[in-house]
C-alpha cells in the first residue's frame, strides 16, 4: 500500500484505503481470500497502534467456495505403492493412506508409538493437542520391521538423510522431504491427478466410509473435533445405493444377450 500510494499508510484517507482494498480484492492474482482478510486485520492493527480510527475498515463477508476433496482410487494407491522404489518411500505412502495421517503426524512417529502386538499406531499430541490410536495393517508392520532392521533409527521412525529430501534440526524427516517423495512417486506412477500428501488422508476417510465404517468411527480415526469435518467425505464416497450403474451399462448388456 505504501508503494502503491508512495506514502505511509497512516497518511491515507479512509476513501483511499477502501479503494485500495477493493482493487486488491478484484485482482485475479491475489493469493487467496484469507490473504485479503489478513491484509484488513493488519491495517486495523496498524491504525490502532498509531491511535488512529479504524472503524471504517469493515471486513466484507467472503463466501468460502464449496469444493470437494479429490480422492484417489484403490488402483491408484496400488500404483503408487508399486512405483515407490525405496522401502522408506513405500512406507510413507502406506502410512499416510493406511492410517490417514497428516504430514506432521507421520514425521512425529517415534519407535515407541508403534504397537505391533495390538496392531496399533499411537498418534501423540496431534492437531488440537489430542492423542488417538489408529489400526496398523499387517503389511505395514512387516515393512516397518524390515525397514528398522536395515536402518536402525534411534528415535523417529523416519529420519532425514539430506537433499533433496532434507532434514529437520532434530533429525526428523522434513516436511519438504515427505512432500517431495509423494509427488515423485505419483509422477512415477503416471497418475494424472495433482497428488499431495493430504490427498492420501482424504482417500483414507473416503475408502473407510465406502467399506461401511460408520461416520463416528471415521471421525475418531481422523482426529476431527467436529463431525462436520468428517461429513464432507460423504459427498465423495461412492456406495451402491448412492451411485447406481450408468443406464448405458444395461444397454450394452441387453445388446450382448440378443446377439
Residues known to be catalytic: 102, 127, 198, 201, 224, 233
Calpha distance 226→219 (Å, rounded): 8
8 Å CB contact between 172 and 103: no
The helix/strand/coil state of 233 is helix
For residue 172, the cross-strand partners are: 159
The helix/strand/coil state of 45 is helix
The grid coordinates listed for 152 are: 536402525
Calpha distance 123→114 (Å, rounded): 9
Picking from 87, 119, 138, 130, the residue whose alpha carbon sits closest to that of residue 222 is 130
The grid coordinates listed for 196 are: 499431495
**Total Cβ atoms within 10 A of residue 26:** 8
Amino acid at each position: 500500500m505504501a508503494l502503491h500510494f508512495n506514502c505511509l499508510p497512516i497518511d491515507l484517507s479512509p476513501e483511499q484505503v477502501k479503494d485500495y482494498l477493493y482493487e486488491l480484492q478484484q485482482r485475479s492474482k491475489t493469493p487467496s481470500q484469507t490473504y485479503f482478510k489478513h491484509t484488513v486485520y493488519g491495517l486495523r492493527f496498524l491504525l490502532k497502534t498509531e491511535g488512529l480510527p479504524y472503524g471504517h475498515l469493515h471486513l466484507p463477508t467472503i463466501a468460502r467456495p464449496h469444493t470437494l476433496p479429490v480422492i484417489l482410487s484403490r488402483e491408484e494407491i496400488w500404483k503408487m505403492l508399486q512405483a515407490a522404489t525405496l522401502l522408506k518411500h513405500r512406507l510413507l505412502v502406506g502410512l499416510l493412506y493406511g492410517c490417514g495421517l497428516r504430514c506432521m503426524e507421520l514425521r512425529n512417529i517415534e519407535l515407541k508409538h508403534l504397537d505391533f502386538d495390538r496392531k496399533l499406531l499411537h498418534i501423540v499430541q496431534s492437531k488440537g493437542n489430542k492423542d488417538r490410536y489408529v489400526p496398523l495393517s499387517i503389511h505395514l508392520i512387516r515393512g516397518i520391521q524390515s525397514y528398522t532392521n536395515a536402518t536402525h533409527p534411534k528415535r523417529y521412525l523416519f529420519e532425514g538423510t539430506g537433499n533433496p529430501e532434507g532434514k529437520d534440526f532434530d533429525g526428523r524427516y522434513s516436511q519438504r522431504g515427505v512432500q517431495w517423495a509423494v509427488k515423485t512417486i505419483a509422477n512415477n506412477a503416471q497418475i494424472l491427478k495433482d497428488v499431495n500428501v493430504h490427498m492420501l488422508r482424504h482417500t483414507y476417510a473416503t475408502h473407510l466410509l465406502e467399506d461401511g465404517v460408520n461416520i463416528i468411527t471415521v471421525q475418531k480415526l481422523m482426529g476431527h473435533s467436529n463431525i462436520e469435518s468428517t461429513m464432507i467425505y460423504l459427498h465423495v464416497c461412492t456406495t451402491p445405493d448412492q451411485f447406481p450403474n450408468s443406464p448405458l451399462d444395461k444397454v450394452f448388456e441387453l445388446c450382448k444377450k440378443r446377439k
